[in-house]
Amino acid sequence: MKHLVTRLRANTDGVTKALDFNIHGMLAVLMGALTGVGGGTLRDLMLAWVPNVLKADIYAVAAIVGATVIVLGLKVQWPRTRVMALGARRALCCGWWRCGST
State pLDDT tens for residues 56-99: 767 788 888 888 999 999 999 999 989 988 888 887 777 555 54
Residue 19 is predicted with a pLDDT of 92
> What residues does each domain of the chain span?
2-97
Average pLDDT over residues 10-25: 89
pLDDT of residue 5: 64
Percent of the chain with pLDDT over 90: 29
Euclidean distance between CA atoms 89 and 10, whole angstroms? 14
Binned at pLDDT 50, 70 and 90, residue 100 comes out as very low
89 CB neighbour count, 10 Å cutoff: 13
Kind plus residue range of the DSSP H or E element containing 80: helix 80-94
